[in-house]
Amino acid sequence: MHKELNVKEKLFMLGCCTDDRCIICDWEVETQTHLFFDCPYSKQVLQLLEKWCGFNIHVSMLGGLQPAKDCLKQQVHYLLWNALYYHIWAQRNAARIQFVLLRPQKLAGMIKEEIQFWFDLF
């Protein structure tokens, strides 16, 4: 969230990798913006989650805003955005280290289950 992730653009500039292409799509330079907002994989997961929850998941939640405790939509929005951010980064790292990548439908399903589980707890 603070542009401190070691995306390939940064690693390439430091001489730590041989190219700066996105590990997931291999189409664009892997910047933090590309990975979380512009990568076709991330966009597809986001679209699936938006279809599920029935509203747009806005980037404005990235600033770490806390949702109002009495607003279910804000809480879902907040949880979805944070889960999406975490899981896209985890998938990116799995693709880089283990050469595996979940299908967008599978990842969206996992995130939905996590959100539902969280609400079942409270």
Residues that bind Zn ion (CB under 5 A): 22, 24-25, 39
Strands (E), the chain: none
Of 24 and 79, nearer to Zn ion (C-beta) is 24
Of 21 and 74, nearer to Zn ion (C-beta) is 21
| Rounded least distance, CB 20 to Zn ion, Å | 11
Both tokens of 85, joined, read 């951010």
Cα 65 to its chain centre, rounded Å, is 17
Q: How far apart are CA 11 and CA 5, in angstroms?
A: 10
DSSP state of 120: H
| Rounded least distance, CB 120 to Zn ion, Å | 33
| Rounded least distance, CB 106 to Zn ion, Å | 18
